[in-house]
Amino acid sequence: MLDEATNAARELHALLRHQLAEVPAARARLAGLDPEGVYAWAAAREAENGKALHLERRLLEALTAACGDAPDATLDTLRARMPREMAALDGTLAELRALATELRREDALTREALDRSRACVRSYLSLLSPKASAYDRRGQATATEPLSSRRVSV
């Protein structure tokens, strides 16, 4: 009765493990300022996230169906109805929660690395095309104070 839930949980487990295995390569692309590689990784990750969402829905639907006509469709209800089958599934669900927590942590670190890479690129670009400090793009003076420390009266 829980076969579909177990299969969905196993597929989701494999997908999360794969996503975690890809993290070091993604960070290397960020550190190497490889925009094509980062975009390719992000597109693949988005597709994998869509698959993970589908697997989560499959898991939820299978667990809900296994609850049958019980007034409360919870894991506790399933544990009471089928303790032996749920014992095995509980281990897989605990591993899924641990993997999801680790993936969230890794994603936060990847976002920090992305922010640092973006700051580095902005810094390079500002060096290549610095803003004018004395005149704006129309040729008007931008300084409100004289550039000298001596006051000149006219």
For residue 8 the two structure tokens come to 């969905």
The per-residue pLDDT for range 126-137, each reduced to its tens digit, is 888 776 666 777
Model pLDDT, residue 16: 96
As a whole number, mean pLDDT of residues 73-101 equals: 91
Q: What is the mean pLDDT of the chain?
A: 86
Q: Is the dihedral of CA 48, 52, 53, 57 positive or negative?
A: positive
- Asked if pLDDT for residue 112 goes beyond 60, the answer is yes
- Helix axes of 83-128 and 3-31: crossing angle, nearest 10 degrees: 20
- φ, ψ dihedrals at 6, nearest 5°: -65, -45
For residue 124 the two structure tokens come to 């390079």
